[in-house]
Amino acid sequence: MSVREVTVAIVGAGPAGLATSACLNYANVPNIVLERENVCASLWKKRAYDRVKLHLAKEFCHLPLMPIPPSLPRFVPRVDFINYLDDYASSFNVELCYNRTVESASYDKTTGKWRIVVKNTEPVLGEYEAYIAKFLVVATGENSEGVIPKVPGLDGFSGEWMHSSLYENARRFVDKDVLVVGCGNSGMEIAYDLSSNGANTSIVVRNPVHVLTVEIVYLGMSLLRYLPMSIVDNIVVLLSKLRFGKMSKHYGIERPKEGPFSFKEKTGRTPTIDVGAMDRIKEGKIEVLPAIEKIKGDVVEFEDGEKAHIDAIIFATGYKSTVRNWLKGGEDLFNAQGMPKESFPNHWKGKNGLYCAGFSRKGLAGISKDAVNIANDIVSSYTFDNCH
């Protein structure tokens, strides 16, 4: 097995890994990024549906040291964001090691270093490499793997089903009865996409959810700079009521009792940003249904006893972190679900040179903060080590 010694090993070449590497390069700290796919930003290049745009205005989405070009629209489309990330990686000379799946990482007390074992998946499948690093940055994402809930009878479902991360567009679903499960951003946007492109679409909504517009979120985020969260929450809910009215009456959807920003802080669940699905629900073009009870053949039964013939199910039921599958130790930093134990802003640093970037549930703005904090922290101990 080949062994390579590096100062900092970063796992994952999404925005979090790229941002951390850029900040380290800027400070002349040697580092590499290990990525299982053959591209950077794979979530955006391979796992996002065609019509996706950044939901947040661009001033909340840039990475450290490089603004998003002023020529781009306030809500940046997917391709432009991908170009920005590619530019970012090359501008800061990020050293990307592709086709490298990290299978384990453990801390060696005697050397005081991390040993990272990587499977090289291309061009020589199955070849292993080891990397020895003083610092290990986990940047594998909150969204590493799609979650599909256990549904009785799903195995025997005669139609097609998939996780939302594999949904590309409505082409295959024209004239089909399609059920979308989940009313987060992915679920509502996919339901809209299906319904406005010829699929007979229904959506399962199980929990209360805040539905806002991009403009309301933008206003709320801007106000948060000057006003306390409770006041901003009240303003935002008022605007949502003006826009959508009584949600349970018109849409069959409940609002949570807490306001959107406090709800997000408490539960980690982001408000859903409407891209047009709400109007289609109100017009009766998208049907809102309760949780699935069971599936028999091509018939889905719901909790209220209703039954419907369904050709395809898209599970927009979220993602999970997978760091626990490969990281040995690090219990000081991560819980059993692979999310930080400490809450924001104390979530990013563990013991023995272990860090995590991109796990604060605060989107790209949170990622930028993590990258800067981690790089500064490494710079101070690295410089210190080198002078003594």
Ligand X SMILES: *[C@@H]1O[C@H](CO)[C@@H](O)[C@H](O)[C@H]1NC(C)=O
Ligand Y SMILES: Cc1cc2nc3c(=O)[nH]c(=O)nc-3n(C[C@H](O)[C@H](O)[C@H](O)COP(=O)(O)OP(=O)(O)OC[C@H]3O[C@@H](n4cnc5c(N)ncnc54)[C@H](O)[C@@H]3O)c2cc1C
CA 9 to mean position of chain CA atoms: 22
Q: Does 177 bind ligand X (CB under 6 A)?
A: yes
Q: How far apart are CA 388 and CA 386, in angstroms?
A: 6
- Our CB check for ligand X shows the closer of 237 and 286 to be 286
Binding at 144: pick from ligand X, ligand Y, none (beta carbon under 5-8 Å per type)? ligand Y
- H/E stretch holding 241: helix 229-244
Binding at 98: pick from ligand Y, ligand X, none (beta carbon under 5-8 Å per type)? ligand X
State which of residues 59, 108, 122, 385 lies at the interface with ligand X (CB under 6 A).
122
Q: Does 143 bind ligand Y (CB under 6 A)?
A: yes
Binding at 236: pick from ligand Y, ligand X, none (beta carbon under 5-8 Å per type)? none
User: Please, are residues 45 and 67 in contact by the beta-carbon 8 Å criterion?
Assistant: no
- Our CB check for ligand Y shows the closer of 13 and 237 to be 13
Which window, 14-22, 199-207, 216-224, 337-345, contacts ligand Y (CB under 6 A)?
Answer: 14-22
- Least Å distance, CB 323 to ligand Y, is 8
Q: Does 35 bind ligand X (CB under 6 A)?
A: no
Beta-strand pair 319-320/145-146: antiparallel
Q: Does 196 bind ligand X (CB under 6 A)?
A: no
Q: Which residues have a Cβ under 8 Å from the Cβ of 165 and sit 6 or more positions away?
A: 47, 48, 146, 319
Q: How far apart are CA 73 and CA 140, in angstroms?
A: 28
Q: How far apart are CA 342 and CA 351, in angstroms?
A: 13
Tokens of 365: 């703005």
- Least Å distance, CB 124 to ligand X, is 9
- Least Å distance, CB 157 to ligand X, is 14
Residue nearest to ligand X (CB): 122
State which of residues 82, 308, 365, 379 lies at the interface with ligand X (CB under 6 A).
308
The angle formed by the CA atoms of residues 214, 216 and 221, to the nearest 5 degrees, is 95
User: Please, are residues 260 and 271 in contact by the beta-carbon 8 Å criterion?
Assistant: yes
Residue nearest to ligand Y (CB): 14
The angle formed by the CA atoms of residues 365, 367 and 372, to the nearest 5 degrees, is 100
State which of residues 38, 121, 144, 262 lies at the interface with ligand Y (CB under 6 A).
144
Query: What is the contact mask toward ligand X in residues 217 to 256, using x (rule: CB under 6 A)?
Result: ----------------------------------------
Q: Does 148 bind ligand X (CB under 6 A)?
A: no
- Least Å distance, CB 145 to ligand X, is 20
User: Please, are residues 128 and 100 in contact by the beta-carbon 8 Å criterion?
Assistant: no
Beta carbons within 10 angstroms of residue 257's beta carbon: 8
Q: How far apart are CA 140 and CA 90, in angstroms?
A: 20
Tokens of 388: 């003594």
Bin 7: left if φ > 0, else alpha if -120 < ψ < 50, else beta: alpha
Q: Does 367 bind ligand Y (CB under 6 A)?
A: yes
- Our CB check for ligand X shows the closer of 129 and 265 to be 129
Q: Does 37 bind ligand Y (CB under 6 A)?
A: yes
Q: How far apart are CA 48 and CA 44, in angstroms?
A: 5
Restricting to residues 178-207, name those near ligand Y by CB under 6 A: 186
- H/E stretch holding 242: helix 229-244
Binding at 13: pick from ligand Y, ligand X, none (beta carbon under 5-8 Å per type)? ligand Y
Interacting residues with ligand Y (CB under 6 A): 11-17, 34-37, 42-43, 48, 52, 54-56, 61, 101-102, 139-144, 186, 322, 326, 358, 363-364, 367
